[in-house]
Amino acid sequence: MGSKEMLSIKRLIYVLLIVVVVSAVFMVYNINEERAKNIQLRNLEIEAPELTASEPVDPAEKPRVTLLGGPERDIYGDIYQNALRLFHDLHFTVTTRERLDTGRIGFDELVVFCDDDIGRYADLTELGQFVEGGGKVILASGLPEGSEDSYLWPLLAIREKSVRKNYNRLSFEEPLLPFQLDEMVYDGYSISTWLAVGSEAQVYVRDKESEVPLLYTCRRGAGGICLINGTFLSDMRCAGLLTGAAGTLAEDFIYPIVGTKTVFLDNFPMITFINDKLCLQMYGSSTEGFVRDVVWPSFQGISLRTQTPLTSSVLAAASQAKSFPAINDSLFTTIGKSALQYGGELIYAANCPEGDNIQYNQTFIDEFRSVFSNYHIQGLALQSQRLWDGMLAIPGSEIRAVRGHLGDESASFFASDSYFVLPAATMGNSMEDGNLFAIASVLGAYGMVSHVFDVNTLIAQDAATASWDRDKRQLGIFESEVLNRIPNLDAVTLSQAGGHVTGYLALEFGWEKIGNQIKLNCSEMKPGQTFFYRTGRRIADAQGLAFEEMGGGWYLLRVQGNHAVITLEEE
């Protein structure tokens, strides 16, 4: 009997130990859950930058451009409007004309035709004489079909000309952009003309397969002319072709840039499209586990390795209440906390095509308040085209930063006392089928990367297509071919971009070249304002600014005060 009693006591002790251990585990879990419900993470207010004292810039020093084209002419009207918007953004003095009057245009002024029918806007003999005398001309809209423009062929070194078609596999033969790859794909439609040109043409971009020149220059006398062979510029993402073309013609070319790189994760950390059953079939894991253990660590690794904070958005306003997804509280808390701890930002997203019918995701708003009691949402990502007042009044938010759309008149660069807008320039999970070129082009025009990934489609493109194994390679390309190759841009979240946008918009600048020196004068500028500078020579020294060489004749400048001087090496 004694041995049986001892055995019963031991069993009882084992049972008690098991109960204690299990209880302890649940106690720790509950404590952690309680801690997660009161995360002590704060965010700072968006501060307006202190601008340097205003000193008027001599109008004669401001860069100037004359635009010719018809804003009403379908695709050529789009090119005209995009060129007009770009040069306004770059703080050029812009003159629009119905006819070219070379007697009123200096040789230091850029002339851009935004139509393929050049004869409609200029006397071609006069145009040729203007270029020969030192004029700089860009034909930004390609050429018409047929031989009606044959009077231009000698000026453009054209030997043969045929039909128009879509060429989009771009081969870069010479440095054109501050950042470019040897081959990139344009994923839009451009009407380009088959051409054969003489050896006096300097070709920068060809079609990879047909070798048709898509961007080239011809030096004529003291001046030059550049043909962008196609309607690429009807797409604002191709704006870098225009700044690149200007850089090929000018001996020295300077313009201000935003100077930032921002990465957005839309619909994250929500679970919307894919369910557990489908995720188990595709990846052998629950959706929550796959997002937490595979997807998020991939983004977190990119962020840490490249020192690029992530801006994550969750849908909080829409035109229809059924647009709001279900919330996984555990996943939202875990990933949201991790994102903030590593320097990221959480923002709301709005998809409101109808401004008079805005619904708020009150369930999520209440959950966010309970989890992140000390964190105040300051950012908003537009997923529809327009910004409505109701989007800025989402309950529980203090919207001061808005992500808009590049090239959209109502949602592009903007700054007021209430909020600012940083446009998203590119979006999508694939890099090789168009985004690498779009990113390089926008970087060339605005000196910024502002890219959006949609996390929903990373896991599954549809109910039958597992897309993670394909798209994770594209994330690697984005890290290696984009983020790693532009370390000199400031990596920021949406809210942190406020000073860059405000300073960029407030700036006035002008410059003049005297001998081996470039004198740069600025007004209402943020100290550290960034510029791109392209030159055929190397910088020997500089005062009032720091410079970084980017290759291909391009430099990144960081100007510290109203006046700076660049000294070039002797020729």
- Residue 556 within any structural domain of the chain: yes
440 and 524 both lie in a single domain: no
Q: DSSP for 45-100?
A: PPPPPPPPPP-PPPGGGS-EEEEE--TTSHHHHHHHHHHHHHHHHTT-EEEEESS-
454-457 long-range contacts, CB within 8 A, separation 24+ = 454/266, 454/267, 454/427, 454/428, 454/429, 455/265, 455/266, 455/267, 455/268, 455/269, 455/291, 455/295, 456/266, 456/267, 456/272, 456/273, 456/274, 457/273, 457/429
252 and 270 both lie in a single domain: no
State residue 31's pLDDT score: 40
449 and 310 both lie in a single domain: yes
Query: What average pLDDT does the chain have?
Result: 88
- Residue 52 within any structural domain of the chain: no
Alpha-carbon distances of 298 from 35, 193, 328, 345, rounded to whole Å: 26, 43, 20, 17
CA 130/CA 133 separation, integer angstroms:
5
174 and 156 both lie in a single domain: yes
CA 183/CA 206 separation, integer angstroms:
10
Boundary-marking domain end, from 475, 501, 527: 501
Boundary-marking domain end, from 501, 518, 538: 501
Count: domains in the chain: 3
**pTM for the predicted model, two decimal places:** 0.90
- Residue 11 within any structural domain of the chain: no
**Least confident segment among 8-12, 152-156, 513-517:** 8-12
- Residue 46 within any structural domain of the chain: no
Domain CATH code at residue 177: 3.40.50.880
pLDDT in tens, 332-382: 788 888 888 888 999 999 998 887 789 998 888 888 888 888 888 999 999
139 and 219 both lie in a single domain: yes
- Residue 140 within any structural domain of the chain: yes
Residues 262-282, mean pLDDT to the nearest whole number: 77
- Residue 261 within any structural domain of the chain: no
216 and 359 both lie in a single domain: no
Q: Which tokens hold the place of 13?
A: 């002790």
295 and 217 both lie in a single domain: no
Radius of gyration of the chain from Cα atoms?
Answer: 28
202 and 307 both lie in a single domain: no
- Residue 325 within any structural domain of the chain: yes
* Dihedral over alpha carbons 99, 103, 107, 111 (to 10 degrees): 0
Domain enclosing residue 172, as ranges:
60-256
213 and 281 both lie in a single domain: no
Phi-psi label, residue 525: left if phi above 0, alpha if psi -120 to 50, beta otherwise: beta
Boundary-marking domain end, from 474, 501, 528: 501
CA 76/CA 79 separation, integer angstroms:
5
Instruction: Kindly tell me if the per-residue pLDDT of 282 is higher than 90.
Output: no
162 and 250 both lie in a single domain: yes
Instruction: Kindly tell me if the per-residue pLDDT of 91 is higher than 90.
Output: yes
State residue 274's pLDDT score: 65
pLDDT in tens, 296-336: 999 999 999 999 999 999 889 998 887 787 777 777 788 88
Residues 227-241, mean pLDDT to the nearest whole number: 97
302 and 245 both lie in a single domain: no
Q: Which tokens hold the place of 222?
A: 């003291």
- Residue 16 within any structural domain of the chain: no
Is the CB of residue 563 less than 8 Å from the CB of residue 519? yes
Closest CA to 257 of 177, 315, 369, 161: 177
366 and 395 both lie in a single domain: yes
In Å, the largest CA–CA distance within the chain is 121
- 3-class DSSP state for residue 380? strand
